Amino acid sequence: QKEVEQNSGPLSVPEGAIASLNCTYSDRGSQSFFWYRQYSGKSPELIMSIYSNGDKEDGRFTAQLNKASQYVSLLIRDSQPSDSATYLCAVTGGFKTIFGAGTRLFVKA
Amino acid sequence: EAGVAQSPRYKIIEKRQSVAFWCNPISGHATLYWYQQILGQGPKLLIQFQNNGVVDDSQLPKDRFSAERLKGVDSTLKIQPAKLEDSAVYLCASSQEREGSNEQFFGPGTRLTVL
Question: Which residues in chain B touch residue A31, judged by CB atoms under 8 angstroms apart?
Answer: 100-101
Distance separating alpha carbons of residues B43 and B63, to the nearest angstrom: 21
How much is the pLDDT for B31? 92
How much is the pLDDT for A96? 85
How much is the pLDDT for A94? 78
Q: Please give the residue of chain B at the shortest CA–CA distance from A93.
A: B100
Which of B33, B55, B100 minimises the CB distance to A32? B100
CB contact under 8 A, B99 and A95: yes
Which of B43, B56, B102 minimises the CB distance to A44? B43
Euclidean distance between the first and the last CA atom of chain A, given in angstroms as a whole number:
40
Question: Which residues in chain B touch residue A96, judged by CB atoms under 8 angstroms apart?
Answer: 48, 56
How much is the pLDDT for B99? 62
Distance separating alpha carbons of residues B111 and A71, to the nearest angstrom: 33
- CA of B109 to nearest chain A CA: how many angstroms apart? 6
How much is the pLDDT for B98? 67
HSE (side-chain half, CA atoms, 13 Å) at B11: 25
| Full pLDDT tens readout for chain A, 109 residues | 779 999 988 999 999 999 999 999 999 999 999 999 999 999 999 999 999 999 999 999 999 999 999 999 999 999 999 999 999 999 998 778 899 999 999 999 9
Distance separating alpha carbons of residues B12 and B77, to the nearest angstrom: 16
How much is the pLDDT for B72? 83
Cβ-contact A35, A19 below 8 angstroms: no
Q: Is B70 helix (H, G, I), strand (E, B) or coil?
A: helix
- Condensed to tens digits (0 to 9), the pLDDT of residues B64-115 reads 999 999 888 999 999 999 999 999 999 999 998 766 567 999 999 999 999 9
CB contact under 8 A, A95 and B103: no
CB contact under 8 A, A31 and B50: no
